[in-house]
Amino acid sequence: MAPPPPQPSPVKGEGVKRNLLWLQAASCGGCTLSLLGAEGPALNAALDAAGINLLWHPALSEETGAEAMAIIDSCLRGDTPLDFLCIEGAQLRGPKGSGRFQMLAGTGRPMTEWVRELAAVARYTLAMGSCASYGGLCGAAAGPTEPCGLQFEGESGGGLLPAEYRAKSGLPVVNVAGCPVHPHWVTETLLALALGQMDESGLDRFQRPRLYADHLVHHGCARNEYYEFKASAEKPSDLGCLMENLGCKGTQAHADCNTRLWNGAGSCTRGGYACINCTAPGFENPGHAFMETPKVAGIPIGLPTDMPKAWFVALAALSKSATPRRVRENAVADHQVVPPVVRKTGLK
């Protein structure tokens, strides 16, 4: 008789379901839409693997009205443990600090009041997307809505919740920033928290999970050969590097978009669009057109984060002088016009 197949090793807390509540504040809903694109595993499979029970989500759950409010009230009373409070969208404090520009439907109370009360009982509080993290696009211009993030207002600590806020786990708000957020940044962050594998050292200075924020969008960019030779695109359809003329901030943006591709195949730069650094506070209001690179004396203002200006100038001059004809001509074309030379390398 054949021996039974080996069983998987138990994970920490196996059999214990952790409850997740997701609320949407002021947002386009794009982070939820992105989350539905999770694959390998899909969203439901990822949550099941992490032992997470989705209590309620405004777009994914059946409960509405009084049924949904009963779930929220149960969390506030402590009858239902609230392990993960996930907030999508900016917090609207207006008009004049009342929060009444966004009411939680049917309750007669501002969303901001509900978020504060739920954050006080949550084991972990997570801001899903850059709007929830810093205010995002809602804060692109001054106005009466008074938008902010959960624990940041732009780059400044302290948003709806004070800078000293800590969830019951002892962690501050975890800012899973992005516009929209990558679905696997969400699922991997939840899994790490569920397994007890993320503490405050796993967050960067803007409280983003370092599992993706310790990377740069530049890493793995398909245009890196053009960047190395400073062979730059001149219009959006060109194949060349987008940094010098078209506003790309991939050398400064903290995310792994080009090594963890979207839907397994794409990224902004692979689609011909410059990286706008959407995981950072203030990305929505850069002070110039998104597809434009501001320069001083012909030198881009936004240089790679760890490269002195003098080095960049010297490297750029040397690189451009050594640019192969293939790279130079292909950089300003919308398709490959000069193929690589077929040549014996001499390697065996």
Each residue of 161-186: pLDDT tens digit?
999 999 999 999 999 999 999 999 99
- Is 25 within 8 Å of 91 (Cβ atoms)? yes
Question: Residue ranges per domain, the chain?
Answer: 18-213, 216-335
pLDDT of residue 348: 64
- pLDDT digits 0-9 by tens, 141-160: 878 999 999 999 999 999 99
- Residue 112 burial (CB count, 10 A): 24
pLDDT of residue 316: 79
Q: Is the pLDDT of residue 280 over 70?
A: yes
- Residue 231 burial (CB count, 10 A): 25
pTM comes to: 0.90
Q: Which of 195, 246, 249, 245 is nearest to 221 (CA)?
A: 249
Q: Is the pLDDT of residue 7 over 50?
A: no
pLDDT of residue 14: 52
Q: Which amino acid is at 162?
A: P
Q: Is the pLDDT of residue 5 over 80?
A: no
Q: Which of 295, 39, 74 is nearest to 182 (CA)?
A: 39
What mean pLDDT is predicted for residues 115-137? 97
CATH topology of domain 216-335: Cytochrome-c3 Hydrogenase; Chain A, domain 2 (4.10.480)
Determine whether 348 is exposed, middle or buried from the number of CB atoms within 10 Å of its CB (0-12, 13-18, 19+).
exposed
Q: Which CATH superfamily is domain 18-213 in?
A: NADH:ubiquinone oxidoreductase-like, 20kDa subunit (3.40.50.700)
Q: Is the pLDDT of residue 12 over 70?
A: no
Q: Can you list the positions of beta strands (E) in 129-188?
A: 147-148, 152-153, 156-157, 174-176
